[in-house]
Amino acid sequence: MGKCAFVFPGQGSQSVGMGADLIKAVPEAEKIFKAADTRLGFSLTDLILNGPEEELKRTENTQPALLTVSAALHALLSGEGIKADYLAGHSLGEYSALYAAGVLGFEDAVYAVRERGLLMEAAVPAGRGTMAAVLGLDAAALKEVCGQASAGNESAQIANLNAPGQIVISGTVDGVAEASQLAREAGARRVLPLSVSGPFHSELMKPAAEKMRRILDGLPFENAKIPVVANSTAQTETTADEIRVHLIEQLYSPVRWIESVEKLKSLGVDTYIEVGPGRVLSGLIKKIHRGAVILQVNDLKTLKETAGKLGGRK
């Protein structure tokens, strides 16, 4: 039997009401939500369950909200006796993976991602940075396009290598607009502006990374009990110090998701469980690792379905 990887989603997978069935039915999940409220000093639970959506979509709220729901779902999956051989997460989801690996305690993880969100918001003045998804152009061509669009105070760079033919670019508003136009001329099928509040995973996040370093240096990190594939290196990591360094780099480096999934495939993974709201990563993995078994755990119903399918993996 092949290996199993748990993968954890990032920003964009949130929705008002996510995790509601968990809180009502499972004391362990309710405990995790309460721990988040206590550590952050406000009712994150109320925001997750009731919105408003605009407030939940703010980066500093989305990040701890997704981590909390993912952590609760992971606890239930563990309770079913289903274990991962490897872990990975997309951007913010890397923190969920590190929590699952025992690198960070839950309260430290939820505090870290709240601070990460605040720093990402503050790094670039509102309206100065943006991101866009480019479909149907390869990474080498897009890198060249971004180089041409980066001049003076304007910049554009590759931010997320999500799936073959699906790459996100990030930078200044004018830099991304120029790169988008050049990408179309170079043969991109479509370019979709993303409704994000900043130029994430770009050099413009370096001021946030320096401040994040101080926050992470103040938190206890343990070595990972399960290897985690890092976004910035697409390699498995277990050493606390190594993980800390790459989390800081992650803020301004591309998310190498295609390579991360290819790495898991090379390690013998044939089953992926997306642990957290939505199915974004499942869709991406399907394009990268054809023929893999891809399952979701995003509520009690999918937990039971997945546990049923994986009876033999316990």
- Active site (catalytic) residues: 91, 201
State how far the Cα of 84 lies from the Cα of 101, in Å rounded to an integer. Answer: 9
142 Ramachandran zone, left/alpha/beta (phi>0; psi -120 to 50): alpha
DSSP 101: T
- Cβ atoms of 178 and 149 within 8 Å: the answer is yes
Please work out, in degrees rounded to the nearest 5, the angle formed at the alpha carbon of residue 159 by the alpha carbons of 124 and 258: 155
- Cβ atoms of 216 and 247 within 8 Å: the answer is yes
State how far the Cα of 218 lies from the Cα of 19, in Å rounded to an integer. Answer: 30
| DSSP element (H, E) containing 78 | helix 59-79
Amino acid at 12: G
